[in-house]
Amino acid sequence: GDSVTQMEGPVTLSEEAFLTINCTYTATGYPSLFWYVQYPGEGLQLLLKATKADDKGSNKGFEATYRKETTSFHLEKGSVQVSDSAVYFCALRSGNTPLVFGKGTRLSVIA
C-alpha cells in the first residue's frame, strides 16, 4: 500500500537557519502530496500541497516540490523563526482515499 517516510526528529535549529525536512513516498498511482503542521495543543493545518509532478507548493516561506523521479517532497524554509516550532507531517492522498501520514518531525527553533 501507499506509504510516507519522513526524517526522524526532533530537529533543533537556531533562528534564521535553513530548514530541510526530507519526505519520500511510495504509491501505486499519482498521489497528491501535502505538508501539514501541528502547533502545540492544536489540530492539523494544511501548510502546502502539490497535486502533480514538478508542482511546487509554497506558503508562509515554506516550499516543497513534487519530484516524481525521486518520489520525494522535501520541505524547505530559508530562514526559520521561533514561531515555526511545531510538528510537521508529510502526507499523500490517492483519489478519494484517506490521507496517509508520515511519522511527523518535531521542529524546535531557538532564539
Partner 1 sequence: SAVISQKPSRDICQRGTSLTIQCQVDSQVTMMFWYRQQPGQSLTLIATANQGSEATYESGFVIDKFPISRPNLTFSTLTVSNMSPEDSSIYLCSGAGGTEAFFGQGTRLTVV
Helix or strand holding residue 57 (H, E): strand 56-59
Residue nearer to partner 1 on the CB measure, 42 or 111? 42
Contact pattern from residue 78 through residue 107 relative to partner 1, giving x for each residue in contact according to CB under 8 A and a dash for the rest = -----------x---x--x-xx-xxxx---
Host H or E run for residue 41: none
> Least distance to partner 1 from the beta carbon of 75, Å?
16
Cα–Cα distance for residue pair 110/83, rounded to 1 Å: 10
Residue closer to partner 1 (CB basis): 62 or 89: 89
DSSP three-state, residue 33: strand
For partner 1, the closer of residues 92 and 109 by Cβ is 92
Residues 26-65 close enough to bind partner 1 by CB under 8 A? 32, 34, 36, 42-46, 49, 51
Residues present in the chain in total: 111
Alpha helix locations (H) across the chain? none
Instruction: Tell me which amino acid residue 63 is.
Output: E
Q: Which residues bind partner 1 (CB under 8 A)?
A: 32, 34, 36, 42-46, 49, 51, 89, 93, 96, 98-99, 101-104
